[in-house]
Amino acid sequence: MAAITEKMQDALNGQITAEMYSTNLYLAMAAYFESLDLAGFAHWMRVQAKEEDFHVHKLFDYITERGGRVVIGAVEAPPVEWASPLEAFESTYEHEQEVSAMVSKLVEVAQAENDRATESYLRWFVDEQVEEEASVDRVVKMLRLGDGQPVAMLMLDREMSARPEPTPPTPAE
């Protein structure tokens, strides 16, 4: 199979930078939750950060496999504070929607470049975004229901601590 085009390679490299930002954003949120002594929420965010790191490596592997060159770009620093746990999760939800839009753009580039292999490969990311948005939306709804009440927050924190460690996706996935 022919190597990926430069345009496709650049677009995928841009996604690597975005996924690195996501990793750092969720680590920053984990630190924010640690500062509130919400260890369960912090754990959830650390797991999320690991998932984002898997996305970075998955893209890295794909570009390399297709004879492209990975370029690591500058990553903007994430925020440090949020007004409340709810606000942190609302921004997580917005962020994941932006990532979903970026993945859709990548699919468009693949189509414009007539790169069926990359288009097919990106299906995994399209599906992953559906899952990510749904799981964050669920937490946003639970936080709204809990309305910042201490008992509700403690119960939620316990639930968040049960998020299992992620398993890395295989390159073929």
Binding site for ligand FEO (CB under 6 A): 19, 22, 52, 55, 96, 99, 132
Least separation in angstroms between CB 43 and ligand FEO: 17
Q: Which is nearer to ligand FEO, 5 or 78 (CB)?
A: 78
Q: Which is nearer to ligand FEO, 8 or 99 (CB)?
A: 99
Per the CB < 8 A criterion, the answer to whether 88 and 29 are in contact is yes
Least separation in angstroms between CB 132 and ligand FEO: 5
Least separation in angstroms between CB 129 and ligand FEO: 6
**CA dist., res. 92 & res. 110, Å (int):** 27
**CA dist., res. 53 & res. 51, Å (int):** 5
Least separation in angstroms between CB 152 and ligand FEO: 26
Residue whose CB is nearest to ligand FEO in the complex, by number: 55
H helix runs in 36-172, sequence order: 39-65, 85-112, 116-121, 123-146, 150-160
**CA dist., res. 25 & res. 19, Å (int):** 10
Least separation in angstroms between CB 50 and ligand FEO: 11
Q: Which is nearer to ligand FEO, 24 or 146 (CB)?
A: 24
Q: Which is nearer to ligand FEO, 52 or 90 (CB)?
A: 52
Q: Which is nearer to ligand FEO, 90 or 96 (CB)?
A: 96
**CA dist., res. 67 & res. 73, Å (int):** 19
**CA dist., res. 83 & res. 19, Å (int):** 24
**CA dist., res. 36 & res. 15, Å (int):** 31
